[in-house]
Structure 1
Amino acid sequence: MTHASDAVPTPDPRERRFAALRRCDRLLSGVRPQNLRERLAALATDAETAYDLDQRPDIYGDGVVRALEQRVAELLGKPDAAFFPTGTMAQQAALQCWAERSGSRTVAMHPLAHPEVHERKAYSRLSGLHAVWPTTAPRIPTAEELRDSGEQFGTLMLELPLREAGFILPSWEELVAATTALDGTHVHLDGARLWESVYHLGHSLPEIAELADSVYVSFYKTLGGISGAALAGPEDFVRDAKSWRHRYGGQLFQQWPAALSALAGLDRELPRLESYVGHAKVVATALAEAVADTPGARVNPEPPHTHQFQLWLPHPAEALNEANVRLAEEQGLGLFGPWGGRDLPGLSMTEVTVASAALDWTPKEITEAMTAFLTYL
């Protein structure tokens, strides 16, 4: 007789995937997962060249945190910057500051923007702001749409790239037109992934940031940091943003691990991003060819605008996740991150991130690995 206590426990899907990808010989999307010991060792190694480790730890934002803020301000060509423990908090502070200056509690943003999709409507629940959508098309609004939105707003927030639409970026001309469409409107850039956007836009970080009054950037999405973000803009804006950071509970006693990992990420990843963006086009083309005969399958956008893009397949997410883990466990090939269901019936989507581990994959190897992946379905 079998007792309940004798049953083999079902492994946690996240733990199973973590273990499988760590043991993979090759990864196509993302970076190899690290356990805590490996992450600590990597931080200690990278930080040796990122900052003087003989200095004392930061206290409420001085020291290494202040060095990081100054580095970001210089990279973006802004007078100053403030470190935030989360991007969600940074966005709230930015929108609050511009609402106070403009006298308007209305913000124009996209319905797929991060505050709408991933922040539980914090701008409304915590800040009392109201959002308008100049467009629902999967792109930034045009100058005409902004001028004809039918409702006045004091702040325009643009997400570059627009992740939920497929990491979509405008052309430089479209971005200039949108940011200069309305006089007296403050422009805030959600630039969580701005670092890798310069290649599609064809302009430098300071040139892009100059189009906006404030810019938010992330330290973990592309740079591989532990956590954290920065908000850059005029000195008086940054001073006020720091006051809102304190009010929101972001005035942490010490944040040196996150700041060190951010500095290390800037040193390590910024020089590599152009190669990631270039190879993403190779990867996307190979994947598109591998699924060309599968109804409904597609790469979005094709070609990618950054080193990230979406892959859609006509299979349930559960089956795709199982195939992904089995391919990693049995053949040592880690192709994708998690799959999920979205708004298109019968299709599931994964986000492909081309980083250093993917650079040595040839189109033939990608096609062969994709063929092997599909056999598990």
Structure 2
Amino acid sequence: MDAPVIRRSLALHSSLRRKPHDLLRQWADLVGPDTSPEEPVARLEARIAELLGAPAALFFPTGAMAQQVALRVHAERRGRWTLAGHPHLHLDNWDLQGYNAVHGLLFLRVGDRNELLGEADLAAIGEPLAAVVWELPQRDLGGLLPEWDQLRAQVDLVRSRGAAVHLDGGRIFEAQPFYDRPHEEIAGLFDTAYILPDEVVELVRDLVKRARTS
């Protein structure tokens, strides 16, 4: 009998001993009595832009809002209203399909729901798309990630057809050890990227609240 193929998962390529809350609470001590409500957000946006090598970053109160806005912009620029992505994509399964309710966008589920998205799956799409979304890692598949060369080939294919490429990278900090590449290089594959984890969102809320009441 052939040995089973072991698929790399989140637990195998990411440290589970990090303590992000401890680090983020230390950052709260940087807020002094003269800090304006805008300063913590501006500093966070500048830090994220620097991390990703991007010209700018924009803070949103929620990840759902951030991604819907980015995808709406891609749709309006191209005059196309259909998105595509894996059947287990977070913004489709867990964000109550707000992209449709709020923005009128449609979502095309591509590929086998139990396997990672493949280049052949994308090549088989017949209709013009506004954007394709990748979730890295793919949470509902146990944190699976495509190999780097596979990911680049998929992105190149989608771009060649005139669609935008968007990264749902809320867990990019877990994906980075797997690829062993800078965050800038990973996010740089995509036209837009969402990366703010919930811990950072909560930190900014705390910083702004403290600044306003100081």
Calculate the TM-score normalised by the size of structure 1: 0.47
After superposition, where does 1:40-79 map in structure 2 within 5 Å? 43=25, 45-48=26-29, 51-58=30-37, 62-79=38-55
CA-to-partner distance for each residue in 1:107-164, whole Å, 9 max, x for gaps?
A: 0111111111111111111110111122124344222221212322120110001101
Counterpart code for 2:173: W
Query: Partner residue of 1:240?
Result: none
Match of 2:202 among 227, 243, 251: 227
Query: Partner residue of 2:137?
Result: 161
SS of the aligned residue for 1:63 comes to helix
1-side partners of 2:106 and 2:126: how far apart? Answer: 14
Query: Partner residue of 2:154?
Result: 178
Match of 2:165 among 158, 178, 187: 187
Matched, 1:141 2:141: no
Task: Say if 2:31 and 2:207, in contact at 8 Å, map to a contact too.
Answer: no
After superposition, where does 1:107-118 map in structure 2 within 5 Å? 107-118=83-94
1-side partners of 2:123 and 2:207: how far apart? Answer: 41
- Report the CA distance between 1:218 and its aligned residue: 2.3
SS of the aligned residue for 2:58 comes to strand
SS of the aligned residue for 1:126 comes to helix
Match of 1:257 among 202, 206, 210: 206
Q: Which has the larger radius of gyration?
A: 1
Query: Partner residue of 1:213?
Result: 191
Match of 1:123 among 85, 91, 99: 99
Task: Say if 2:28 and 2:207, in contact at 8 Å, map to a contact too.
Answer: no
Counterpart code for 2:202: S
SS of the aligned residue for 1:79 comes to coil
Which one has a larger percent strand, Structure 1 or Structure 2? 1
SS of the aligned residue for 1:83 comes to coil
1-side partners of 2:31 and 2:149: how far apart? Answer: 42
Counterpart code for 1:90: A
1-side partners of 2:164 and 2:201: how far apart? Answer: 31
Counterpart code for 1:53: G
2-side partners of 1:259 and 1:139: how far apart? Answer: 42
1-side partners of 2:57 and 2:82: how far apart? Answer: 24
2-side partners of 1:206 and 1:80: how far apart? Answer: 13
Match of 1:198 among 170, 176, 179: 176
1-side partners of 2:51 and 2:18: how far apart? Answer: 25
Query: Partner residue of 2:128?
Result: 152
Counterpart code for 1:227: E
Calculate the TM-score normalised by the size of structure 2: 0.79
- Report the CA distance between 1:174 and its aligned residue: 1.1
After superposition, where does 1:25-36 map in structure 2 within 5 Å? none
Query: Partner residue of 2:81?
Result: 105
The higher-RCO structure (CA 8 Å, 6+ apart) is: 2
CA-to-partner distance for each residue in 1:23-69, whole Å, 9 max, x for gaps?
A: xxxxx9997xx9xxxx9xx83x5422xx35243231xxx31101100
SS of the aligned residue for 2:152 comes to helix
- Report the CA distance between 1:226 and its aligned residue: 5.3
**Residues 135 and 209 (structure 1), Cα distance of their counterparts in 2 relative to 1, 3 Å cut:** same
| Unaligned segments of structure 2, at least 5 residues | 1-15, 210-214
Match of 1:93 among 69, 73, 89: 69
Counterpart code for 1:217: I
Counterpart code for 1:93: V
2-side partners of 1:211 and 1:104: how far apart? Answer: 21
1-side partners of 2:33 and 2:202: how far apart? Answer: 23
2-side partners of 1:82 and 1:94: how far apart? Answer: 11
SS of the aligned residue for 2:145 comes to coil
